[in-house]
Structure 1
């Protein structure tokens, strides 16, 4: 077996974020124990799916259009979109288990049933999503990795963008929100290289939020600290 692969055949992937923060409340532990397994999109990780069989999205969402949110934080936006679009099935990927627990509580409160939750690395999800199966993707206030030597850890790099482009349908929309100017620069540089067109005709197209936007706790923190949000919209090219 190659030294750069797991015994299962999976590629070694470094993960630089947090998997868990401070202790969970008892209610959050209950959400994880009682709700997470039922909301799982299926076999995603290499150990449980070494043959990388694709997810059965028909069985998961009953033929609904499929959207994807990468790194949903506390889940505010994910639940908002699910509530506003009951005819769409939405998968959320988030490795930070505290955020997953917060989302599960919001799902219970909202009573939405068109969500699936992957509590892990989005790259593992890209491995099993069928090609050209997702109609919309969201990357909202991702980890900025501000130090220059850490920019390769950002989501807007070929390691993430190329598999994202593979699973998006031609014409699919990809939304990126960030308050970090250098992240904006890297996004505008790298995302078009991966097969996307930036949909902007004037300053309001990146200065004003989308019409169906709900401000997240990360955005509220940015505003309190006088950082300016940017709202970038891309379309997956047809070819």
Structure 2
């Protein structure tokens, strides 16, 4: 039987490598405007070493000014799913993490278009956010079409490894839901193997999307290229 107890808060996390892209094609002028005009207001405080050098846990109410349930999306890509969930569930607050600045710019444009106000954007590594979130502060988490890192020697870079899953388990509330979507069979295999030992139980494993799902640009690409999406749901023990 796996140990479902989350690790304790670590105020001094170890140095970690980052392997993904931070920049892509040159941003359009409108996207540069989103970053300069909108990101500062949506960016949570207390995440970086510059504004939280002692790595104190941050108060969850600082995100939206109240005690609403908090959801977390890890690697929101172009932001389609995050904005859809924010619009569908206006009484919750969604925190999105994405180090790829082009994706951040795309999300900010979608936030403007949709007019949603219950979003917070961390333009960086989700591990930095989880370092300072209090225990059991996240009610629901999403991992939608993560970077597959297809080469065997790179599998340790995937999010569904203990380095990421143990901090996620710590910040998730008991009974909290963790959703994973991918079109890569081996990623789903590793998800099934690695997530339960971190303190979760699998409650759904299917090729049928969730009722409140919206198709993302990555899923559309997968379908065009003949890859079948898969959806797995876990509950925090």
Q: Quote the Cα distance in structure 1 between the aligned partners of 2:59 and 2:28.
A: 34
1:136 aligns to what SS in structure 2? strand
Note the 1:1-239 alignment, pairs <5 A: 11-61=14-64, 62-200=66-204, 205-237=205-237
Q: Quote the Cα distance in structure 1 between the aligned partners of 2:71 and 2:26.
A: 31
Does structure 2 retain, via aligned residues, the 8 Å contact 1:178–1:184? Answer: yes
1:199 aligns to what SS in structure 2? strand
2:93 aligns to what SS in structure 1? strand
Q: Quote the Cα distance in structure 2 between the aligned partners of 1:46 and 1:186.
A: 32
Q: Quote the Cα distance in structure 2 between the aligned partners of 1:9 and 1:164.
A: 17
Using the TM superposition, give the Cα deviation of residue 45 of structure 1 relative to its aligned residue in structure 2, in angstroms: 1.5
Does structure 2 retain, via aligned residues, the 8 Å contact 1:41–1:55? Answer: no
Using the TM superposition, give the Cα deviation of residue 10 of structure 1 relative to its aligned residue in structure 2, in angstroms: 5.1
**RMSD over aligned Cα atoms:** 1.2
Count of matched residue pairs: 226
1:3 aligns to what? none
Q: Quote the Cα distance in structure 2 between the aligned partners of 1:214 and 1:60.
A: 25
1:4 aligns to what? none
Unaligned runs of 5+ in 2: 1-10
- Normalised by the length of structure 2, the TM-score is 0.93
Q: Quote the Cα distance in structure 2 between the aligned partners of 1:54 and 1:106.
A: 30
Unaligned runs of 5+ in 1: 1-7
Larger relative contact order, structure 1 or 2 (CA cutoff 8 Å, min sep 6)? 2
